[in-house]
C-alpha cells in the first residue's frame, strides 16, 4: 500500500451528483502523473438534493448519497492511496441549509422550540425584543405576507410521519407543529384546519413565526450566512454541535483516509481562534492512532480567511495558513503596470459617471448593504450597546440615535473582516484595524464622539462594572456583523460597481491597490516563508469571479492604457448602431472587458453567449444599481440581454468582432505569458500550490456557476501522455498543453525535492534596464538550489509563438548563485553559474535546478 506524500500540492475537485466519488477515483492515475500529492475535495456531507457545491449541508450524520455515500468515499480514498495520493477535506462548520423539508435538525427545532436538542446548536436569539416574534423562531420563507398566503389556500396541514405528528406544508417547505397540537389535530381531524382562521390560530401557538421572505433582513433573530436565509449559522462553541459537525471528518483522519482539513468561512464563527485551537488539538490527539501507512506529517489545516491589506493570520490559531486568496491577489497585482495617475480610474469615471476611487465606491456600498441587508443584526447590536450604556449609567449621555450612527460608522470603516476579541478577559486589544476604523469614524464631520468612545471602551474592556456576559454578546455580535458586511458590500457589491479594470476585482483582492512593485512582492514572499510556509497558494477557486487567465489577459491592458482607451472608444462608436436606449455606459464598458478577457482564441461559438449572459445578469444584480436579486428589473435586463445578443451576432456585429480580434491578437501572446508567469510563481514561492479542477489548461471561466462546469479530463489525460516537443508547444500554445507541461514539471520537482521547496527564499540581484520588470529569486537548502526568473510587463515584445524577443531585455542580467556545474532547466534554458544574461529569445520564464556540492 503506497504511503501518501506530505502535502506538497493539491488539486481541487468539485463533487456533485454528476461528478461523484467514482469519477474522482478514476482520475487517480492522471493526478499522480501530473504530480499532485493530494486531492482537495469539496464538502461531502449530505447536502441539499442536487447541490453543485456541497456547502448547503443538511445532515452531519452521513456522507452524501448522491456522491456515493461512505462506501463510495472509501473506494475513492483507496484508489487515490494506491497511487500515493491523499485527501484534504473541505468542511463547513459555520452553517447548515434550512427551510425546505430535508434538515432534521431544523425541523426538530421548529417542532420543539427551546426544548429541541438543537436549540443551542443554531445561533438563535430567542430573547429578541421584536414583539411579533415573542420568543419564537423567525421563519421568513413565505412568498407573500402571511395573511395573503392563508387567504390563498397555500398553507396546508398534512401528516408528518417522520416526527409522528402533523406539519404545515408550503410548497417545498415543511413546518412541523408542536407535539401538544398533534393531539388536537388527531382529535378534530385535519379537515377542521382548512380555513384561514383556524390555521392562523394554530400558527399562533407554534414555536416559530412564519413571515414574508422580504422581512428577513429586518426581523431575523438567528444568524445566517451573509444574506442567504436558506443557510443558518451554527454555534461551534457548543461542544455537542462541534462533536456532531466534526465526527465523520475526525474519524476519517484517524483512519488515514484524509490528511487535513479546509475550514469554510472561519470568520463566521463566534471565536475562530478558540475553534481552530480546539480542532488542532483534536487532530494532534488522533495522530498517534493513524495507521502506519498514513502520512506521518501533522494534519494540514487551512482556513478560508480573507485578509485585509497588512493583516496577518494570527500564529496562535495553530493553522497552516489561508486558502490562498491573499496570494492570488498579490500575484495578480505584480502583473499589472503602475498607474500612479489613475488613468484607468479616470477613464472609468468618465464613461460611467461613478467614482474613480475604489474607496469611495466601497463606502457607499457598505452603508447601503448595512441598511438593506443587515438591519436586524445591526439593531440587535445597538440594542445591547444601549443595555450596556444603561448598566454603566450612560444612557442620558448617549441617545439611541447617536449609538446607532456611531456603530454604523465603525462597521463601515472596518477594513478587516472582524476583530478577534471574545470578551473573556479585560482589558483586551481590539487590534489595529479596529483602531483605524475608530479614527476614521472620529474624523467624520458629524462624528458621535461620546458614543464612539463608549463603544471603544466596551470592545477593549476598559470600562468598569460592565456586565461580563452582555459585553461578550456585544463583541460576538459585532464581529459576526462586520464579517458578512465586508463580504457582501465589498466583494459582492462594490466589486461589481467599480469597473476600472476587472482583473483587480476578485475574491480576497485589495481592489484599491492597482499594482505592486517587484520589491513589495519579494517582501511579501519572504514574510510568507517566515510566517506561513505551508499556506495554500491559489490562482483559481470555486468562488472566483474571473478565471486566472482572464485576469492575466486583462492585466496586459494596464501596460498600454492609451491603446486600450482608443480601442474601447472605437467599440463604443461601432455599437451605436445596435445599442438599445437606456443601456448604461458603465455596464457596457464592463461587458467589453469580459469580452476581451474571455474571448476564445479560436473564436466564439457553442455556449459562449449563454455563459456570458449568465455572468452579465449576475454582475448586474450583484451591483444593485439598475436591477437586483430582491427586485429584478426585467425591463433593464432585457435591454442588456438584447444588446449582448446583437454584439455576439456575427451578422450584426462583424466590425466589432474584427476590432476585438485585432486587439486580442496584439495582446494574446503577452497575456498567455502572464498566465504562465503566475503559474511558475505559484509553484515556486513558499507555500502549497493548488490547481483548481481543469485549470491545468487555460482558464477563461467566469463567476459561478460558470467556473464549476464539467471538465474534459480525457483531453487533459491525452495531452499529458503525449511526447513533449518544445517548439510544438510554443507554436500551439493556445491549446493549453504548454501550461499543463510547465505545471507537470514543477509539481514533479516539488515531489522529488520537497526539502528544497521548504527551503530559504531569497531575491536574486538583477541589473539592467528591465530590472524592475523581472522577478528573480532562489529557493535553497544545504544540497540544492532553485533559481526562478520571471519577466512581467512586456506585452509589446512577446512574439506570436510566445517567445520573448531578445531586444526587450536590453542587456538585463541576473546574478545566479554558485553551484557545481550548470543549472539544469525545469523551464527555460540551461545556464552557467554566475551572472547570466537572460536574453535568450525563448519563453522568458526560467526555473533552474542546481546542486551546491554538499552531501
**Percent of the residues in the chain that have a pLDDT greater than 70, as a whole number:** 98
Cell of 47: 447536502
Model confidence band, residue 634 (pLDDT cutoffs 50, 70, 90): very high
Tell whether omega for the bond before 705 is within 30 degrees of 0, i.e. cis: yes
Q: Is the pLDDT of residue 855 over 60?
A: no
> How far, in Å, CA of 731 to CA of 801, rounded?
5
Q: Is the pLDDT of residue 233 over 60?
A: yes
DSSP labels, 182-198: HHHHHHH-GGGG-SHHH
Cell of 349: 469615471
For residues 540 and 699, the answer to whether their CB atoms sit within 8 Å is yes
Q: Is the pLDDT of residue 793 over 80?
A: yes
Kindly report, residue by residue over 356-386, the tens digit of the pLDDT. Answer: 999 999 999 999 999 999 999 999 999 999 9
Kindly report, residue by residue over 524-550, the tens digit of the pLDDT. Answer: 999 999 999 999 999 999 999 999 999
Q: What is the pLDDT of residue 836?
A: 63
Q: What is the pLDDT of residue 462?
A: 96
How many residues are given for the chain?
A: 855
Model confidence band, residue 724 (pLDDT cutoffs 50, 70, 90): confident
DSSP 702: B
Helix (H) or strand (E) holding 405: helix 400-413
**Percent of the residues in the chain that have a pLDDT greater than 90, as a whole number:** 93
Residues in CB range of 466: below 8 A, 6 or more apart: 388, 391, 392, 458
Q: What is the pLDDT of residue 840?
A: 61
Instruction: Report phi then psi at 57, rounded to 5.
Output: -65, 140
Cell of 830: 540551461
Task: Provide the Cα torsion 210, 215, 218, 223; round to 10°.
Answer: 60
Q: What is the pLDDT of residue 471?
A: 97
* Neighbour count for residue 425 (Cβ, 10 Å): 8
Rounded mean pLDDT of the chain?
96
Tell me the mean pLDDT in the region 597-619: 95
* Neighbour count for residue 287 (Cβ, 10 Å): 15
- Mapping DSSP onto H, E and C, the string for 797-828 reads HECCCCCECHHHHCCCEEEECCCEEEEEEEEC
Q: Identify any residues that bridge with 210 across adjacent strands, giving them in sequence order.
A: 139
- What's the pTM value of the predicted model, to 2 decimals? 0.96
Amino acid at each position: 500500500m503506497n504511503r501518501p506524500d506530505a502535502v506538497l500540492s493539491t488539486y481541487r475537485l468539485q463533487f456533485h451528483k454528476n461528478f461523484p466519488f467514482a469519477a474522482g477515483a478514476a482520475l487517480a492515475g492522471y493526478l499522480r502523473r501530473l504530480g499532485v500529492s493530494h486531492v482537495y475535495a469539496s464538502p461531502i456531507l449530505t447536502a441539499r438534493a442536487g447541490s453543485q457545491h456541497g456547502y448547503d449541508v443538511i445532515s452531519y450524520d452521513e456522507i452524501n448519497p448522491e456522491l456515493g455515500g461512505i462506501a463510495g468515499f472509501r473506494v475513492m480514498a483507496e484508489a487515490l492511496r494506491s497511487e500515493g495520493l491523499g485527501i484534504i477535506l473541505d468542511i463547513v462548520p459555520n452553517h447548515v441549509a434550512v427551510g425546505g423539508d430535508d434538515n432534521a435538525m431544523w425541523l426538530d427545532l421548529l417542532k420543539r422550540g427551546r426544548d429541541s436538542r438543537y436549540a443551542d446548536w443554531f445561533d438563535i436569539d430567542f430573547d429578541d425584543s421584536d414583539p411579533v416574534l415573542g420568543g419564537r423562531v423567525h421563519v421568513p420563507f413565505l412568498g407573500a405576507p402571511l395573511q395573503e398566503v392563508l387567504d390563498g389556500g397555500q398553507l396546508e396541514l398534512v401528516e408528518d410521519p417522520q416526527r409522528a405528528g402533523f406539519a404545515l406544508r408550503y410548497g417545498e417547505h415543511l413546518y412541523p407543529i408542536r407535539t401538544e397540537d398533534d393531539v388536537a389535530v388527531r382529535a378534530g381531524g385535519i379537515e377542521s384546519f382548512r380555513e384561514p382562521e383556524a390555521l392562523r390560530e394554530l400558527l399562533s401557538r407554534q414555536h416559530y413565526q412564519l413571515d414574508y421572505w422580504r422581512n428577513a433582513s429586518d426581523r431575523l433573530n438567528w444568524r445566517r450566512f451573509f444574506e442567504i436565509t436558506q443557510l443558518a449559522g451554527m454555534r461551534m462553541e457548543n461542544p455537542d454541535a462541534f462533536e456532531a459537525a466534526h465526527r465523520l471528518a475526525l474519524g476519517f483522519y484517524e483512519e488515514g483516509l484524509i490528511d487535513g482539513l479546509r475550514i469554510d468561512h472561519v470568520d463566521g464563527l463566534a471565536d475562530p481562534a478558540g475553534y481552530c485551537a480546539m480542532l488542532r488539538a483534536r487532530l494532534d490527539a488522533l495522530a498517534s492512532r493513524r495507521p502506519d501507512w498514513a502520512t506521518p506529517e501533522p494534519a494540514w489545516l487551512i482556513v478560508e480567511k480573507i485578509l485585509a491589506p497588512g493583516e496577518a493570520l494570527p500564529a496562535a490559531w495553530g493553522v497552516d495558513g489561508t486558502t490562498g486568496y491573499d496570494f492570488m491577489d498579490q500575484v495578480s497585482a505584480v502583473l499589472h503596470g503602475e498607474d500612479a495617475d489613475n488613468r484607468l480610474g479616470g477613464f472609468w469615471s468618465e464613461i460611467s459617471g461613478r467614482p474613480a476611487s475604489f474607496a469611495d465606491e466601497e463606502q457607499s456600498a457598505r452603508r447601503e448593504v448595512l441598511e438593506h441587508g443587515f438591519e436586524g443584526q445591526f439593531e440587535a447590536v445597538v440594542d445591547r450597546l444601549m443595555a450596556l450604556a444603561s448598566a454603566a449609567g450612560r444612557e442620558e449621555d448617549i441617545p439611541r440615535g447617536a449609538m446607532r450612527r456611531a456603530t454604523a460608522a465603525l462597521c463601515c470603516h472596518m477594513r478587516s473582516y472582524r476583530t478577534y476579541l471574545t470578551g473573556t478577559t479585560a482589558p483586551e486589544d481590539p487590534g489595529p484595524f479596529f483602531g483605524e476604523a475608530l479614527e476614521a469614524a472620529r474624523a467624520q464631520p458629524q462624528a458621535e464622539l461620546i458614543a464612539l468612545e463608549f463603544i471603544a471602551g466596551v470592545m477593549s474592556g476598559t470600562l468598569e462594572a460592565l456586565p461580563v456576559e452582555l459585553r461578550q454578546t456585544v463583541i460576538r455580535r459585532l464581529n459576526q456583523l462586520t464579517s458578512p458586511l465586508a463580504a457582501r458590500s465589498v466583494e459582492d457589491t462594490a466589486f461589481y460597481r467599480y469597473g476600472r479594470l476587472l482583473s483587480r476585482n476578485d475574491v480576497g483582492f485589495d481592489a484599491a491597490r492597482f499594482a505592486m512593485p517587484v520589491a513589495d512582492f519579494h517582501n511579501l514572499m519572504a514574510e510568507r516563508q517566515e510566517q506561513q510556509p505551508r499556506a495554500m497558494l491559489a490562482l483559481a477557486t470555486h468562488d472566483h469571479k474571473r478565471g486566472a487567465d482572464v485576469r492575466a489577459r486583462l492585466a496586459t491592458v494596464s501596460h498600454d492604457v492609451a491603446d486600450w482607451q482608443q480601442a474601447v472608444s472605437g467599440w463604443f462608436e461601432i455599437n451605436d448602431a445596435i445599442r438599445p436606449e437606456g443601456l448604461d455606459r458603465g455596464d457596457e464598458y464592463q461587458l467589453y472587458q469580459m469580452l476581451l478577457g474571455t474571448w476564445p482564441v479560436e473564436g466564439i461559438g457553442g455556449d459562449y453567449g449563454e455563459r456570458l449572459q449568465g455572468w452579465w445578469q449576475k454582475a448586474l444584480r450583484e451591483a444593485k444599481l439598475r436591477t437586483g436579486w430582491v427586485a429584478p428589473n426585467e425591463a433593464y435586463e432585457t435591454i442588456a440581454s438584447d444588446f449582448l445578443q446583437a454584439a455576439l451576432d456575427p451578422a450584426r456585429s462583424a466590425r466589432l468582432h474584427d476590432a476585438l480580434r485585432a486587439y486580442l491578437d496584439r495582446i494574446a501572446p503577452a497575456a498567455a505569458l502572464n498566465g504562465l508567469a503566475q503559474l511558475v510563481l505559484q509553484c515556486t514561492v513558499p507555500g502549497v500550490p493548488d490547481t483548481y479542477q481543469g485549470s491545468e489548461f487555460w482558464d477563461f471561466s467566469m463567476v459561478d456557476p460558470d467556473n464549476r462546469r464539467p471538465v474534459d479530463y480525457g483531453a487533459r489525460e491525452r495531452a499529458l501522455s503525449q511526447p513533449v516537443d518544445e517548439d510544438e508547444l510554443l507554436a500551439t500554445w493556445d491549446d493549453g498543453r504548454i501550461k499543463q507541461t510547465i505545471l507537470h514539471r514543477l509539481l514533479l520537482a516539488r515531489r522529488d525535492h520537497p526539502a528544497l521547496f521548504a527551503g530559504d527564499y531569497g531575491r536574486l540581484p538583477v541589473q539592467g534596464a528591465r530590472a524592475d520588470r523581472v522577478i528573480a529569486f532562489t529557493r535553497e537548502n544545504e544540497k540544492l538550489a532553485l533559481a526562478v526568473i520571471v519577466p512581467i510587463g512586456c506585452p509589446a515584445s512577446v512574439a506570436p509563438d510566445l517567445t520573448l524577443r531578445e531586444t526587450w531585455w536590453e542587456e538585463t542580467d541576473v546574478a545566479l548563485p554558485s553551484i557545481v556545474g550548470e543549472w539544469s532547466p525545469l523551464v527555460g534554458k540551461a545556464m552557467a553559474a554566475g551572472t547570466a544574461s537572460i536574453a535568450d529569445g525563448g519563453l522568458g520564464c526560467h526555473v533552474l535546478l542546481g546542486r551546491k556540492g554538499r552531501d
